[in-house]
Amino acid sequence: MEIIQDYFSDFTETQTQQFQQLQALYTEWNEKINVISRKDIDSLYEKHVLHSLAIAAICNFHKGAHVVDIGTGGGFPGIPLAIFFPEVEFLLVDSIGKKIKVVEEVASAIGLKNVKTMHGRVENTGQIFDFAVSRAVAPLGELWGWIRNSLRKGRMSDEFANGLICLKGGDLTEEVKQSGLRPHLFPISEIFDEPSFETKYVVYVPR
């Protein structure tokens, strides 16, 4: 938890308590349903929570914005972002039911009121969103194909027009080329000092 507070210092008491509860909850659930790599569970706050919050570090979603988390897995980046932005509505989507169960249980346990879940594919939500977020789910071109028709034009953040914001790692040259898109890449190593973020990026595609 301290690593989060090294970079973000203006949490309410409720937000602080919600972040603090994540370690015990994910440790418990991970023993039943493997949603986080066993070797990473002890680094939950750095490799999962702080990584998710790289999005919050560069994009301040407006109150009332609607955000969908594509392939949320165990709830990343959606759960940390929902704690960070309590006045933003989040829909966390995954095609694997047991992962959605973990998300629902964690969100309920920490009292998140701004999270809804869906077991299924993001193309089938039947909803329109301001932003989509994602972490290591699919190539950029595929993500954009799934979500572009479900994003409304507009500007529900201080920094960016509505669009797709995803977390990716490694050399993205070929992936970006194949996508046919012109994304903006933000090195996370320029946001957070931790060595684990050396080759990781926040990738933004405007609607």
Which parts are annotated binding residues? 71, 76, 122-123, 135
Two structure tokens written together for 94: 């995954």
Per-residue b or e along 58-67, where b marks 16 or more CB atoms closer than 10 Å to that residue's CB: bbebeeebbb
- Dist CA 60 CA 156 (whole Å): 9
Mark the binding-site residues for S-adenosyl-L-methionine, compressed into ranges. Answer: 71, 76, 122-123, 135
| Residue 86 and residue 107 in contact, taking contact as beta carbons nearer than 8 Å | no
| Residue 186 and residue 58 in contact, taking contact as beta carbons nearer than 8 Å | yes
CA 20 to chain centre: 18
Beta bridge partner(s), residue 133: 69, 165
- Dist CA 68 CA 179 (whole Å): 21
